[in-house]
Structure 1
Amino acid sequence: MTSTARSSRASANVLLALLGIGLLASMPAAAKKSDREQAANVTSKSFDGSQQPNGIQIFTTNVVMTQGTLKVTGSKATVYTDADNSITRVVIDGNPATIHQLDDTDQPMDGHANNIDYKPGTDATKTAPATSGVAILTGNASVKQPNKGDAAGDKLTYNTDDSTMKGESNGEGVVVMNFQPKPKPGAAPAKPAATPATPATPPKKP
């Protein structure tokens, strides 16, 4: 059985706390660390920039970026690189922009939004501590993980290192969270929450 948590604006802070705790317990697997060690490839219709260290490159139209199991798509991508020419940040716009990545157990995470701000994170060095990978999805945001749970809202901040998430909604909007129970051995997969039936249209008066 799938349960759904909904929040009005008045109880948004309570839901955000539940999302952080619930997802930490139900989604412990992290994104593949090996993705950071893979070469990044970007294809698009046009490109503006250079491959110099500490540079900024802008890709437009049919943008697809891959790095290991990570794949992001959109209509425009702004890519930031550091002194070692490694990607430190990617900002993707689209209708929608999408992100796909496998975790260390090969389970997929799929997200989409109007804008995705992705920072892959870094490993610890002698001069700097490690930073977590983070994807911030803004505008009609949604994150789905089979057998774990789904989330939707105006803004979702997803930590790719530990799969924790924060959700926010503006105005009268709500944050929606579906918790998917782990299937028992031999049990049939849980069915998704039922969609309310559309009311019948009354006949027109003669």
Structure 2
Amino acid sequence: MRTTLSCLGILMAVGCICVSPLATAKSSDRTVPAKADGNKFSGDIGPDSKSQLDGSVVITQGTLKVTGTHADMYTNQDSALSRVVVTGENAHVEQLDDANLRMTADAQKIDYNVETGLAVLTGSAHAEKQTGGAVSGDVLHYNAHTGTFEAASNGSALIHVTFSPKPASTRTSDK
């Protein structure tokens, strides 16, 4: 684990902490089409466009699943989904890594750049790894390529990080 202090422009007194997991997001997810479902769609699905999805939003690409009540979706020059901004009380993202371990996260807003693998979660953000680790803060940055988090908090609010204990079978006796 590496602890860093940083300033993020719009945040005051920001504390960042990086948590390194054992694996990264499932690499095969980037090779399958992205699919989006919801109650109402408006916009274009052509190159360099923006569209909106409302209602029970579910966006998937392989094991990556993003849900919420509203999504702004952006495509690149090849008409591939390049960025998704999901909002709502139910804004949620989850994905398996190459070891088939799940990462889940919730926030008021999730801004996921499909091309870079970077997600910014804002507003009561909380993420957990299936291995038992968790991180919470006002703002979480998740890098799907490296599997690392950075957490930041405004003002006097604290970042909360939980690390899993060593499994009982590998603990040494204190006797």
Q: Tell whether the structures are fold-level matches, with TM greater than 0.5.
A: yes
Q: Shift of the alpha carbon at 1:120?
A: 1.9
Q: Deviations over 1:153-203 (max 9, x none)?
A: 10000111111111111122110000113525588xxxxxxxxxxxxxxxx
Correspondence for 1:42: 36
2:124 to 140, 150, 156: 140
Change (3 A) 1:96 1:171: farther
1:104 to 98, 101, 110: 98
The AA in structure 2 aligned to 1:166 is: E
Q: Shift of the alpha carbon at 1:89?
A: 0.5
Correspondence for 2:155: 171
SS in 1 for 2:60: strand
Q: Which runs of 5+ in 2 are unaligned?
A: 1-11
User: Highest relative contact order (Cα 8 Å, sep 6+), 1 or 2?
Assistant: 1
Is the contact made by 1:152 and 1:177 (CA closer than 8 Å) also made in structure 2?
Answer: yes
CA distance in structure 1 between the aligned counterparts of 2:89 and 2:132, rounded to whole angstroms: 26
**2:60 aligned with 1:76, yes or no?**
no
Q: Which runs of 4+ in 1 moved over 3 A?
A: 10-13, 184-187
Q: Shift of the alpha carbon at 1:146?
A: 2.1
The two structures have a TM-score, normalised by structure 2, of 0.85
SS in 2 for 1:174: coil
Aligned residues: 160
CA distance in structure 2 between the aligned counterparts of 1:146 and 1:181, rounded to whole angstroms: 13
The AA in structure 2 aligned to 1:73 is: T
Farther-moved stretch of structure 1 (163-172 vs 111-120) = 163-172
CA distance in structure 2 between the aligned counterparts of 1:119 and 1:66, rounded to whole angstroms: 14
Correspondence for 1:115: 109
Correspondence for 1:196: none
Is the contact made by 2:14 and 2:155 (CA closer than 8 Å) also made in structure 1?
Answer: no
Provide the identity percentage.
37
The AA in structure 2 aligned to 1:149 is: G
CA distance in structure 2 between the aligned counterparts of 1:120 and 1:102, rounded to whole angstroms: 15
What root-mean-square deviation, in Å, do the aligned CA atoms of Structure 1 and Structure 2 show? 1.9
Higher alpha-carbon Rg: 1
The two structures have a TM-score, normalised by structure 1, of 0.73
Correspondence for 2:8: none
**2:58 aligned with 1:64, yes or no?**
yes
Larger helix fraction of residues: 1
CA distance in structure 2 between the aligned counterparts of 1:78 and 1:11, rounded to whole angstroms: 30
CA distance in structure 2 between the aligned counterparts of 1:85 and 1:59, rounded to whole angstroms: 17
CA distance in structure 1 between the aligned counterparts of 2:43 and 2:165, rounded to whole angstroms: 46
The AA in structure 1 aligned to 2:128 is: K
